[in-house]
Amino acid sequence: MPLIRADAVALHGRICRPGWIEVADGRIRGCGDGAPPGPPDREFSDCLVVPGFIDMHVHGGGGASYLDAEHIADAAAFHRRHGTTTTMASLVTASPEELLAGVRALADATRAGIVAGVHLEGPWLSAARCGAHDATQLRDPTAAEVDDVLAAGAGAIRMVTLAPERRGSTEAIRRFADAGVVVAVGHTAADYEQTRQAIALGATVGTHLFNAMPSLHHRNPGPVLALLENPDVTVEVIADGVHVHPAMVGAVIRAAGPDRVALITDAIAAAGCADGTYRLGSVPVEVEAGVARVSSTSTIAGSTATMDRLFRAAAQLGPDPDAALAAAVRMTSATPARALGLHGVGALRDGYAADLVVLDRELRVTAVMVGGDWR
């Protein structure tokens, strides 16, 4: 039963200095602040131990894409090195055949424990707000296609992003919600009332708030206000300093609270790689100075971020350092876990999976534990 001591541990919604964690059989069997109950097996001086990061929206990294069945494990391993212990692998818009093939491959990876489930970002998105998605493959949701993807996923599909203004979306939201799939509003041109209606039907997440949706306006508040004002909605935010200004990230956290804000990478295969040419599905992407854009356009195409980078950014938001750290912990672990309906992950708590990340004084990853094993 390994006993871990660190100068700081994120426990019970606060930063304990010092703290300890005991692990047995892949789970946390005890934790607390102060001195550990016995001699520690591992001691991390001048370090902070936090729950493993949960990325609920990520397309790839380390040169690998979740669209490529042969390299799903490579993408997951790259992000694990950056502290992501629970991955919701995201698929972009594709033809019906390619979509089902991608779902089946990720369903296999989910059963193997490589990823925690599948997020379908498309193909039921707005043509006007499609971003880096292939506009030629966008379509209305139909009962037949919804049933096909649910069957292909065999329980692995955890979340679906769609535009509620598309024809057939009302029935699709109901069908997915009835199947236990989280429905997210995103890549949408919906107005305020259409978004509220989607929430009333069962949508509970806003996909990368502000990005690929109408801006907040005083006469036409649009989807942003509808998502922010509903206490049952979790909003994703890409806090990489590119997609959303840090001041706006801070404003969203103050408005909604860290228990409703989930930090996501929306990372593509280029994360962790040099600038150059990549692809996001069928769409060519150019990365320059770490910013990914659809080739020959100004349209942002996902990110090159990792969850530890977003954690560091969030930890700078707020005058109280420990309060900002505690908020960053929730937004990278407990909040996405709750939004996705994941149990036994997202916190350092008795009985939870022993998924944890050790960060040095600069909040850079020094060690990662997954299911009680150091990786």
Catalytic residues: 266
Closest CA to 82 of 65, 64, 62, 66: 62
Annotation: binding site for Zn(2+): 121, 187, 208
Annotation: binding site for substrate: 132, 211-212, 219, 243, 300-302
Annotation: binding site: 121, 132, 187, 208, 211-212, 219, 243, 300-302
Helix axes 96-111, 72-81, angle to 10 degrees: 60
| Cα separations in angstroms, 73 against 3, 65, 94, 326 | 29, 9, 21, 30
Contact between 313 and 241 (Cβ < 8 Å): yes
Contact between 122 and 138 (Cβ < 8 Å): yes
Neighbours of 322 (CB within 10 A): 15
Closest CA to 59 of 72, 41, 40: 72
Contact between 70 and 56 (Cβ < 8 Å): no
CA distance 239 to 326: 16
Judged by DSSP in three states, 38 sits in coil
CA distance 28 to 349: 6
User: What ranges in the chain are assigned the alpha helix state H?
Assistant: 72-81, 96-111, 143-153, 169-178, 192-201, 222-229, 246-256, 307-314, 321-332, 334-340
Structure tokens at 357: 């990340």
Cis peptide before 246 (omega within 30 of 0): no
Radius of gyration of the chain (CA): 20
Contacting residues for 171 by C-beta, under 8 A, at least 6 apart? 141, 143, 146
